[in-house]
Amino acid sequence: MSYLHNKKFLITGGTGSVGQVLTARLLESGAETVRILSRDEYKQYRMEQKFSESRRRLRFLLGDVRDKERLQRATEGIDYVFHLAALKHVPACEYNPYEAVKTNVLGTQNIIEASIEQGVRAVLYTSSDKAAGPTNTMGASKLLAERLIIAANETKGPREIKFLSVRFGNVLNSSGSVIPLFKRQIRRGGPVTVTNPNMTRFFMSAERAVDLILEALSHSEGGECYVLKMPVLSIGVLAESIIKMSALDIPVKEIGLRPGEKMFEELMSGEESERTLETPSMFIVLPFYRSVEQGLKLYKNAKKTEAGVYSSQLETPLTPEQTIDLLKPLVHFKKREV
């Protein structure tokens, strides 16, 4: 973490759960300045209160990644950009596809251009499991943004900047995840609604997501997409586990898949696995222009993967007991709430 000391950082979409954990980690590592760019002034206010002891090293910038002029000012003097801002709600992107394109695709290109113009050292883009074999607008827009990042690293010319991506599953207990929804439904007396109890998803904590971000940044040569190995949860078991933790008798109602949703998610496609290296904790998907042989020389502790498609359908989900153990630090019910 020494490479983070006395550096200046920009986090787009930094008021989210991952952004706040990343901010804390950067401040602990001796960052000189952390700039948070987002559109929500109330979330910025709440975050400023949370990090009040580090206020002199934090800067809160209201703005949108769609606004390139704003990004040029935001990236001025910055060493590293963490691009977390995105439209992530699958049905909303399905109903408003061009809005997803403007934020997820054009916004990413704006980040790329502003970072090159301002002499940033590295840009790390946070993608989604829905970008692997996409079947919805959100996933397709995130995949296209990944490809923009890969292309930027190849076409940057002599500039000393690198571009890389990390691909996440669902972040446990984030504002857009099902866990807060299930908790609200339990507090109202139910029912807890699940799309399909047999649906499976990759899940990770915000802390583990930040581990991946910082590990990827420290090892990257540029152009890669890093995929963390993470546990798989069944949506039905997840719902039943949270109900059990509430100690209430709450019914579960199946409501069917929403527009654009899949029963199972992929974090790596079969095509990508042909150019992917593997370490004990992650996969490294190499850019198209870098061979596996070249990759093995660059990443000494990696090997060629034999995983093939990395799908939640092919992984063994956690048991109910394991699921509850995973949720214990995150899910709490006060007696007066239940």
**First-to-last CA distance in the chain?**
42
Homologous superfamily of the 2-169+206-228+268-307 domain (CATH): NAD(P)-binding Rossmann-like Domain (3.40.50.720)
Question: Angle at Cα 33 formed by Cα 32 and Cα 35, nearest 5°?
Answer: 165
pLDDT of residue 300: 85
pLDDT of residue 335: 60
Closest CA to 126 of 5, 230, 22: 22
Residues labelled catalytic? 130
* Residue-by-residue DSSP string for 131-161: GSS--SHHHHHHHHHHHHHHHHHHH-TT-S-
Residues of the chain under the 70 pLDDT cut: 335-338
Q: What are phi and psi of 104, to 5 degrees?
A: -75, -35
pLDDT of residue 20: 96
Q: Cα separation of 251 and 271, whole Å? A: 42
pLDDT of residue 320: 95
User: Domain-by-domain residue ranges, the chain?
Assistant: 2-169+206-228+268-307
pLDDT tens readout for residues 133-182: 898 999 999 999 999 999 999 999 889 999 999 998 888 878 777 888 99
pLDDT tens readout for residues 267-306: 999 999 999 999 988 999 999 999 999 999 999 889 999 8
pLDDT of residue 338: 47
pLDDT of residue 146: 97
pLDDT of residue 263: 93
Assigned token pair, 309: 């498609």
